[in-house]
Amino acid sequence: MMKRKIKPLLPSLREKKRYLAYEVISKDKFYDAMNVNKAILDAAKDFLGNQGMSHAGLIPINDKWNPDMQRGIMRVNNKHVDEVKASLIFVKNIEGKDVVIKSVGASGILRKAQQKYLNKAA
């Protein structure tokens, strides 16, 4: 019996995405994106709920973190960018340190978001 390969989704059926760049404003520096992303996911889950999180398709990208500028990138569904931006307000502390997270910008291509928001001071 032959195994069939699953056909990939057509581009028109795929989830469209945006890459949202964010900045952590704090007196202390964070050198690892894991704790920052966990705090963002917890705040988004509290704000959006389980169903809202599934629709938003929020995926923080741990590799795209600039510790010098305290900036990172996350992937979001294009229809829910505003809701995810609003949920960033509810991140109050990370590792017991007071923080404010603000959205820096959004892009449709990861490489351009990284060039524009992570590699240089904007």
Report pTM: 0.86
Tens-place pLDDT, residues 75-114: 999 999 999 999 999 999 999 999 999 999 999 999 999 9
The domain 17-118 having CATH identifier 3.40.50.720: the answer here is no
Higher pLDDT: 19 or 6? It is 19
Sign of the torsion formed by the C-alpha atoms of 111, 21, 84 and 28? positive
Q: Is 7 exposed, middle or buried (0-12, 13-18, 19+ CB in 10 A)?
A: exposed
Backbone angles phi, psi at 87, to 5 degrees: -70, -20
Q: Is 68 exposed, middle or buried (0-12, 13-18, 19+ CB in 10 A)?
A: exposed
